[in-house]
Structures are given as structure tokens and as C-alpha cells.
């Protein structure tokens, strides 16, 4: 028997892909790295996932769990010839209205969850820009955020429990419905672990009540400095908006050509702010935001007149990445974090890096928490261009770390930033993380070669690498 044959016994012929053309698409995500998916499996139940893991373990084959493939850091790319387990068919939703929670499968599309819970008066707060395509399992793997996570927090704050298949093929439950369960918070360890500790097959998520009222404000500025000062000023006045997004002029112009959202294209930077809650509070907070914007020389100040205009503004913000297709055939979207007080300094250096490398750079980011998303538009067919893009990307990360920032806010480490981990973590830090991974998955069968750079463990355990005996 081979792994392929055994998997087809478990799943049937149609849910195991082995032909080169069939599996080619599963060797890449939305980033710039390609891997080798030797087999692709589509389980529908937890029992099937457990059987797949036990089977792959028998054949010493590495496993990469995958959702919709919207990741940007190479997190779902097989670095070794191996098995890709696609979880999109596990897309059930079981709503518990009384407890404001839902059990969901890892393949549920983020936006679909909010659509299904809307009639019950709830939504799922984390809302990445790819929410119309990305899956809850991928959100959990990367602890994803989104524009509306400034006040509500990222995915880890909205996951109460996880059902997970371990490296032995056992099924375990981490966490529970209680808000503060007794014992180690293994749920919190697994959220953001990028598929290296196990395969999530079910999640109990917290649902957020739909707000009774909302105000969405659009402001434009003649300089990035004024926009950044407005961000700091709003927070300093004690207002934490539901969302506080910034786009520079290049991005605004691209978006307007793409969807005509109503952004001022003559502004050097625009801010999109949203406050939610009771009407009186919303009015008061919107007034404070407007006042701070005026104090910082806002050239445009507009409150969305109705739901239609609000939806159009958010369509513009969430279409930013698609709009870049007008600039070049390829793009590289980065993800780093800096303190809010360092936004101006960082953006100045970002533009300098782009100019020096001769790269078209457009910027959109979650300004409220300093989560930058520099987007480099380029043509990969141009000789040497991809190398220039990667060099510029590394400089961007180094600049953000130098000003006290972090490697990633929501896209994860994956392959993209794996070898930069030493910029922010000591040898002891990396060793501790490697020991946690080893405790969950001693053979490192799950998503090998991700997050931690080679040599993270303080000593070599001498275990042989996994080899696909079925090839």
C-alpha cells in the first residue's frame, strides 16, 4: 500500500488529488513563495482528519494544513514534498444565541459567519481585508485581526475553545465555554501557532452584538504627518474607535480608479475612522474625532450620510489590495508593527527604501495600532526585480524593529519572516518556543520549517528528518 492508496480508502478517490496539474495550485498561497504539494486531501470530519494524520505518520510524511490560501507569509506552503490537508469542506456553523457563541468548522469563510449570525443580532469581530475569502481556521492559525479589531482585539480574544487533532492522531479539546477555564491556557498557545502544533477541526468562537448605532468618518490631510498626529490625538483624548485606518495618496488614487469609493485623491493621506455604540456616545466620539482632525489641519472631513455611503467607503478600504493590480502584474504585501508615535518616522524611511530600490510602494494600514501594510507593486518578469523587492522587504522589517516594533501584526511569520526571528528574540526565547513545539509534535510533522529558524533549539536532538516513504 502507498499513502495515496490508503488516503483514498479513507476519503474516496475524488477527495485525494495526486495528478501534477490538480495539486499545482496547492503549492502556493497569496504570497511569492511556491512549494511542492505531493498529495492534497479534503477531509469533511474530525474523524477523517485524525485518520489522515495517523496514516501520514505511518509513512513519515509531513503535513501542511490549509484553508483558502489567502495567507501572505508562506504559512500554508509545503517546504518539503508532503501532504496538504485542505479544510474548506469543514464549514459547518452551529449558533448558540443564548450564550452569544458558535461552534464553527475551520473551513467557514470569515464573512459568511457574520452573515449567518446577523439575523441573530451578532457578528464575528475579526475582519481581515480578505474576509470574503479567508477561513476561520486560517484566522486562528495566524491570530488575524482586521480593521475592526482596534477596540475588540484580534482573533485570540474571540476563540473560547478548540478541538484539535494531535501529532499522534488523537482528538483533544483545548479551552471551553467558561471565560476563564482552570489550568494552562493551551488554547492561547495554539492560536497563532500557524499550524505547527496540530490541526484545528472545530472552534468555539465568541460572537459580538451588532452595535445599535455607528458613525463612519473620512478625513483627508495634506501630509502624512498631520494624519499620524490625528491618530495619536484621537487615542490621547480617550477615544478608541472601532476602526482607524490610513491610506497614502498612491493607494487612495489606485482605490478610486478601481471602485470610486469617494476618497479625496489630492490628499497626501486619508483616515477612515468608525465609532460604534449607543447613539449619544457615538455622536460624542465622532465630534471628538472631528475636532482632533481639524486641529491637525484636515483638508477633508466627512461623515457617511447613510449605510450606502458607509458601505462604499469600506469597500474602498477593503479593495486596496485588488486595486494594486492596476499598477503592476505582481505585488508583495508586507505586515509589520510600529508604535503609533513612530508612524511618521517609519513612513519617511519606508518611502526612502522604496525610492532607493526603484519600487512602486503603496501604503495602507491599521493606524490605530501601528500595523503597517506596505504594498510593493512589481513585475516579476523583470530581471532582478524580485530580489530587489525581497531586499526592500527585509529593510522594512529592520526599520520597524529598530523603532520598537514587531515582525508581524496579523499575517504570521511563516517562511517570510522565519529567518528574521533573531531580530527580536534571543537564543533562549527561540529555544523556549522550539521546546513548546517539540512537546506538541516531537517529529515536527506539522508544517515543518515554519516560524522558527534553523538552530532555534539550543542542542540538536539528532532525530532524522521526515522522509516521504510513499514517493
Q: What CATH number should be reported for the domain holding residue 393?
A: 3.30.70.2740
Same domain, 349 and 311: no
| Cα–Cα dist 27/335, whole Å | 22
Instruction: Give which of 230, 163, 222, 244 is closest to 198, Cα–Cα.
Output: 163
What grid cell was written down for 405?
A: 516594533
What sign for the dihedral angle of Cα 32, 35, 40, 45? negative
Residues 106 and 200 in one domain: yes
Q: Cβ contacts of residue 81 below 8 Å, gap of 6+? A: 36, 38, 468, 471
Which tens digit of pLDDT belongs to each residue from 186-219? 999 999 999 999 999 999 999 999 999 999 999 9
Whether residues 222 and 204 fall in one domain: no
Cα separation of 323 and 436, whole Å? Answer: 41
User: Do residues 225 and 299 both lie within one domain?
Assistant: yes
Q: 105, 202 in Cβ contact below 8 A?
A: yes
236, 203: one domain = no
Give the range of the structural domain holding residue 226, as residue numbers without chain letter: 213-321
Nearest to 79 by CA among 334, 418, 391: 418
159-165 and 199-206 beta bridge pairing: antiparallel
Q: Look at residue 469 and tell me whether its pLDDT is greater than 70.
A: no
Distance (Å, whole) CA 147 – CA 125? 10
Q: Are residues 408 and 351 in the same domain?
A: yes
Cell of 413: 511569520
Determine, yes or no, domain membership for 44. no
> Inter-axis angle of helices 343-357 and 385-402, to 10 degrees?
160
Query: Is 468 part of a structural domain of the chain?
Result: no
Question: Does some domain include residue 464?
Answer: no
Q: Is the pLDDT of residue 468 over 50?
A: no
Query: Which CATH number does the domain housing residue 230 bear?
Result: 3.30.70.2190
DSSP letter, residue 135: B
Same domain, 198 and 231: no
Domain-located, residue 384 = yes
What is the reported pLDDT for 459? 56
264 within 8 A of 270, measured Cβ to Cβ:
yes
- Checking if the pLDDT of 159 tops 90, the result is yes
User: Residue 391 falls within a domain, yes or no?
Assistant: yes
Instruction: List pLDDT tens digits, range 90-100.
Output: 999 999 999 99
Cell match 498626529: residue? 229
Domain final position from 304, 321, 338: 321
Domain finish residue from 181, 209, 237: 209
Tell me how crowded residue 280 is: count the other CB atoms within 10 A of its CB.
9
pLDDT tens per residue across span 29-67? 888 788 889 999 999 999 999 999 999 999 999 999 999
Whether residues 200 and 128 fall in one domain: yes
Q: What is the tally of structural domains in the chain?
A: 3
For residues 354 and 230, the answer to whether their CB atoms sit within 8 Å is: no
In a domain, 65, yes or no: no
Distance CA 323, CA 299 (A): 24
Least confident residue range of 20-29, 204-213, 325-334, 449-458: 325-334
Amino acid at each position: 500500500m502507498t499513502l495515496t492508496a490508503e488516503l483514498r480508502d479513507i476519503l474516496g478517490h475524488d477527495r485525494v488529488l495526486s495528478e501534477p496539474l490538480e495539486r499545482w495550485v496547492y503549492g502556493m498561497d497569496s504570497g511569492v513563495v511556491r512549494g511542492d504539494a505531493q498529495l492534497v486531501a479534503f477531509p469533511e470530519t474530525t474523524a477523517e482528519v485524525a485518520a489522515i494524520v495517523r496514516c501520514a505518520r505511518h509513512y513519515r510524511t509531513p503535513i501542511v494544513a490549509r484553508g483558502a490560501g489567502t495567507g501572505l507569509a508562506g504559512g500554508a506552503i509545503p517546504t518539503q514534498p508532503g501532504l496538504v490537508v485542505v479544510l474548506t469542506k469543514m464549514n459547518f456553523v452551529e449558533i448558540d444565541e443564548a450564550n452569544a457563541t458558535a461552534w464553527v468548522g475551520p473551513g467557514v469563510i470569515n464573512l459568511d459567519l457574520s452573515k449567518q449570525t446577523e439575523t441573530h443580532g451578532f457578528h464575528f469581530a475579526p475582519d481581515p481585508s480578505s474576509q470574503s475569502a479567508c477561513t476561520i481556521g486560517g484566522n486562528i492559525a495566524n491570530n488575524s485581526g482586521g480593521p475592526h479589531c482596534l477596540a475588540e482585539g484580534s482573533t485570540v480574544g474571540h476563540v473560547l475553545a478548540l478541538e484539535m487533532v494531535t501529532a499522534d492522531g488523537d482528538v483533544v479539546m483545548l479551552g471551553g465555554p467558561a471565560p476563564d477555564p482552570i489550568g494552562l491556557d493551551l488554547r492561547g498557545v495554539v492560536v497563532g501557532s500557524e499550524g505547527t502544533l496540530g490541526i484545528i477541526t472545530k472552534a468555539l468562537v465568541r460572537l459580538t452584538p451588532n452595535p445599535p448605532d455607528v458613525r463612519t468618518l473620512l478625513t483627508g490631510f495634506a501630509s502624512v504627518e498631520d494624519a499620524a498626529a490625528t491618530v495619536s490625538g484621537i487615542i490621547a483624548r480617550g477615544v478608541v474607535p472601532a476602526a482607524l485606518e490610513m491610506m497614502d495618496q498612491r493607494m487612495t488614487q489606485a482605490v478610486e480608479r478601481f471602485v470610486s469609493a469617494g476618497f479625496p485623491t489630492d490628499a497626501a493621506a486619508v483616515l477612515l475612522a468608525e465609532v460604534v455604540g449607543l447613539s449619544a456616545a457615538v455622536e460624542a466620539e465622532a465630534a471628538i474625532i472631528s475636532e482632533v482632525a481639524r486641529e491637525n489641519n484636515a483638508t477633508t472631513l466627512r461623515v457617511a450620510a447613510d449605510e450606502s455611503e458607509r458601505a462604499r467607503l469600506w469597500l474602498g478600504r477593503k479593495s486596496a489590495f485588488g486595486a494594486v493590480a492596476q499598477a503592476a502584474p505582481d505585488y508583495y504585501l508586507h505586515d509589520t508593527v510600529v508604535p503609533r508615535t513612530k508612524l511618521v518616522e517609519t513612513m519617511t524611511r519606508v518611502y526612502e527604501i522604496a525610492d532607493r530600490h526603484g519600487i512602486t510602494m503603496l501604503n495602507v494600514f491599521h493606524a490605530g495600532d501601528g500595523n503597517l501594510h506596505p504594498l510593493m507593486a512589481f513585475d516579476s518578469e523583470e530581471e532582478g526585480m524580485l530580489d530587489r523587492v525581497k531586499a526592500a522587504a527585509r529593510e522594512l522589517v529592520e526599520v520597524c524593529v529598530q523603532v520598537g516594533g514587531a515582525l508581524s501584526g496579523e499575517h504570521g511569520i511563516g517562511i517570510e519572516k522565519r529567518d528574521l526571528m533573531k531580530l527580536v528574540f534571543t537564543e533562549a526565547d527561540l529555544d523556549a518556543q522550539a521546546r513548546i513545539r517539540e512537546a506538541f509534535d516531537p517529529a515536527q510533522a506539522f508544517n515543518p520549517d515554519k516560524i522558527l529558524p534553523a538552530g532555534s533549539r539550543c542542542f540538536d536532538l539528532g532525530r532524522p528528518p521526515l522522509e516521504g516513504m510513499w514517493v
